[in-house]
Amino acid sequence: MTIWTRISEALQALAKGESLSTVFDRLRTPPERSVAFTIAVIALAAKMAKADGLVTRDEVTAFREVFRIDPGEEDNAARVFNLARQDVAGFEEYAQRIGRMFDEQSETLCNLLEGLFHIAVADGDYHPDEDAFLSRVAEIFGLDEASFRAVRARFVADAPPDPYAVLGVRSDMPMDEIRKVWRNMVRECHPDRMQARGVPQEAVKLAEKRLTDINRAWEEINEDRRTGKHAN
């Protein structure tokens, strides 16, 4: 049984009236948590799409960049989207359930938020209602404002990403403190470490992009300090 078949069955159970808590309780352990993770992204993305009132082809393409769909699974994937649209559960309930499922893995929740950002900005228009939606999801996940701003700085193209915001540090922090933050972020989102914790493969894929952005921010800060723009 493929993951898309399992996802379809889970959403069918929801459509038939089974509670979200019952369905998610069955999906708490690996590898079934990959099913729960994917359902959460689909459901939250579908409900986020309602925030700006439009689901674009670019957003669908963005989803495919995170979740690889084999040609033979196209029908199952389409069924999942259709079932997700029929589900009447509010986005806050989905966010709460997935938040509790990964309550000891804040990096995984941050990766899920990044997946939603990836989809939200795919059409080139980051709507204020999408910003409010994602801010609320981050709050439910237990991510602080600094973490939300750090993710937003990497995805929203209204200005070049501030490397200090990407790392969630102040520009006046001593370099050794910034280095500690950077090293901790690299360690936490390293794919090998995440796989060892049983994190869903989709989250690992998102973490790989995050690792690239984190290292780029660190390099920019090093250059920033080298040229004397900020004192140590």
Asked whether residue 67 carries a pLDDT value surpassing 80, the answer given is: no
Within the chain, strands assigned E span: none
Q: 40 near 112, Cβ under 8 Å?
A: yes
Domains of the chain: 3-162 (1.10.3680)
Interior angle at CA 5, CA 4 and CA 6, nearest 5:
90
**Percent of the chain scored above 70 by pLDDT?**
73
**Alpha carbon of 232 to those of 167, 220, 221: distances in Å?**
16, 15, 11
User: What pLDDT score does 137 carry?
Assistant: 93
pLDDT tens-digit map of 104-150 = 677 778 878 888 888 888 777 888 888 999 999 999 999 888 888 88
Specify the pLDDT at position 94. 81
Per-residue DSSP letter, 32? T
The residue that leads in pLDDT, 215 or 156, is 215
Q: How many residues does the chain have?
A: 232
Cβ–Cβ < 8 Å for 54, 28: no
- Record the tokens describing residue 168, joined without a space: 């969630």
pLDDT in tens, 43-66: 787 777 666 666 667 766 776 666
